[in-house]
Homo-oligomer: A and B are copies of this chain.
Amino acid sequence: MQIDGERMREDFDALAAIGATAAGGVDRPSLGEAHLAARRWFLERAAAAGLATRVDAAGNHSALLAADGPTLLLGSHLDSVPNGGRYDGALGVVAALHVLLAVRGTELPVALEAIDFTDEEGTLVGLLGSEALAGTLARETLRAPRGGRDALLAGLARAGLREDELALARRDPESLAGYLELHIEQGPVLERAGVQIGVVTTIVGARSYALVFRGAAGHAGTTPMDARRDAGLAAAAFVVAANELVVRDFPGCVATIGDLHLEPGAYNVVPGSARVALEFRSGDGAELEALETALLDAARREADAQRTELEIAPVGRWKPTPLDAGVCDAIENAAAALGLESLRLRSGAGHDAQAVAGVTPAGMIFVPSVAGLSHDPGESTAWEDCVNGANVLLGAALRLACR
């Protein structure tokens, strides 16, 4: 039993045409017109192939292969970041559909469901559909969504969804047999290693902080170097120190200063304040905690060194999510059975799997991203790798179905 790579290619290309951008990517922000068109295409394609379909109260779109047993979910998402690439999310949904097409006609002890989760990317909320399914979508999150309240309400209205009904999408964990997701890696690890299949052991946790260094603005000509309280220098020294300590003491972790804003911000004025956007990630809860301590200590040290004040405000936090060991083994065995090399690795990005993992054994399969590029129209994965990934998804699904 295997995936029909050519038919999958046709479907993948048809999907990539919906919301296609001139740069070769797709622009399908969650619950926008292009995204809704992609979801319609998915249901119509499944129905045309004779599969049952459903849309739940959170707008999750599914194709179904019924059976007398719990449901094994295979999924990902059809929304994209604004001006994103064509592989992120879409590959996992198309591959899941083709697993159902390959399995059709074979009796399994579990139902198979290819599911397209609502708003994974967070244009509106982030993991909206998968958290609704897991029963963890918080009311507070909906009240102050990432993309703003107006955008959320407009999106729900366009999709014909009701905010007060989203939670009805919750599934009873007893009804689920597991979750598998095929996704592009979005990083360079598999390509660098020359390995075709990644087995995701953990989805890393992340925390973010807004740091503000406050010194004293001063005339750039008349304020001697030793009389300055240069907030920009304090911030810069922190950027350097943060990078050094992560590389030296926290291998496998990342820390990023993605934005830095100086006030008043002129050639001839010593910066009086510097606002720094800090984010860091680790796959391990204790390590994330230690990384936070080390980073914030470094910020305090550099603030002191320049005689500046430091304000620390938490912005976001999300826990590391270990994926199921048995599911990881199933993926690894499926790859080996196909003669494919696999590598265990962490996912540095968030995925629907982290929501679903709370209620059913979940796993993820990564395929290599060319040059590690992601969230970019140039995002790409060799088609052969895509088909390999789909076949591993199929093999792992069969292993989980029959265990």
Residues of B contacting A256 with CB < 8 Å? 220, 230, 267-270
Residue pair B265, A262 in contact (C-beta under 8 Å)? no
Min distance, Cβ A249 to any Cβ of chain B, angstroms: 12
Partner of A224 from B188, B236, B277 at Cβ < 8 Å: B188
Cβ-based interface call for A350 (8 A):
yes
A335 CA to B232 CA, complexed, in Å: 39
Is there contact, CB below 8 Å, between A265 and B258? yes
**With an 8 A cutoff between CB atoms, is A315 at the interface?**
yes
A250 nearest in chain B by CB position: B225
Nearest chain B CB to A60 CB, angstrom units? 24
Bound together, the chains give a CA A204 to CA B256 distance in angstroms of: 39
Chief secondary structure at chain A's binding surface: mixed
CB-contact partner of A240 in B227, B236, B278, under 8 A: B236
Interface residues of A in 198-227 (CB under 8 A from B): 204, 206, 208, 217-227
Which single residue of chain B is at the shortest CB-CB distance from A279? Answer: B267
Using A186-B222, A220-B258 as known contacts, list a sample of 7 further A-B pairs with CB atoms less than 8 Å apart, ordered by residue number in A: A223-B348, A227-B372, A233-B239, A256-B269, A257-B271, A258-B271, A267-B278
**Please, could you name 21 A-B residue pairs with CB atoms under 8 Å apart, sorted by A?**
A185-B222, A186-B219, A187-B227, A188-B224, A188-B227, A208-B267, A218-B374, A220-B256, A220-B348, A221-B349, A233-B243, A235-B236, A236-B237, A237-B240, A240-B240, A258-B265, A258-B266, A259-B266, A260-B262, A267-B277, A269-B375
Interface residues of A (CB under 8 A from B): 185-189, 192, 204, 206, 208, 217-227, 230, 232-233, 235-237, 239-240, 243, 246-247, 252, 254-262, 265-271, 277-279, 281, 315-316, 347-350, 372, 374-376
A-B interface, 4 closest residue pairs, ranked by CB to CB distance from nearest: A187-B222, A221-B348, A236-B239, A236-B236
